[in-house]
Amino acid sequence: MPQVLFVCMGNICRSPTAHAVFREQVGERGLVEQIVIDSAGTHDFHIGREPDRRAIMTAAEQGLDMTDLRARQVQEVDFEQFDYVVAMDQQNLDALQNSCPEPYLGRLSLLLDWTDGWGTEVPDPYYGGDEGFTRVLEMVTSACGCLLEHIVAEHTLLPPKQ
């Protein structure tokens, strides 16, 4: 069963947005029982907190609920447990690479590596306005869709028979 961990700095803006988007996409494909999804931060700034209210509101406008998510920090066991450890930007990817045991380095990637046309990094909207959260949601939705297509093909996942 493939396991996906989305990672940003504090786990209150970008990674929970990716978590919520990917969870919705997985659900739409009928694959909820076949893919494990989580999110975490490289820093411990917000452990136990719900996502930023602007991220929650932006997601809710698209029918996504992330109010059940709580911030946590990446743990060493995550590198072994998760098949895909997906960072939102190079700074967080660097932090992951510095703490990841060598056998698991191949599991690390940038989210936008999975899609074209958005550049390389999902920008941190924390210090900006609401439009930054909308842009993040658009970028994440596109990239998560491509990541899901890869996982479905790579792991030969099929929805349960009706």
How many angstroms separate the CA atoms of 81 and 86, rounded? 13
Q: Within 10 Å of residue 77's Cβ, how many Cβ atoms?
A: 8
Check if the beta carbon of residue 76 is closer than 8 Å to that of residue 99. yes
C-beta neighbour count of 96 within 10 angstroms:
24
Q: Is 146 a catalytic residue?
A: no
Residue 14 annotated among the catalytic residues of the structure: yes
> Among the options 13, 14, 72, 144, which is catalytic?
14
Q: Which of 52, 78, 89, 124 is catalytic?
A: 124
144 is catalytic: no
d(CA 99, CA 24): 30
Active site residue: 8, 13, 100, 144, which one?
8
Angle subtended by helix axes 130-154 and 14-28, to nearest 10 = 50
Active site residues: 8, 14, 124
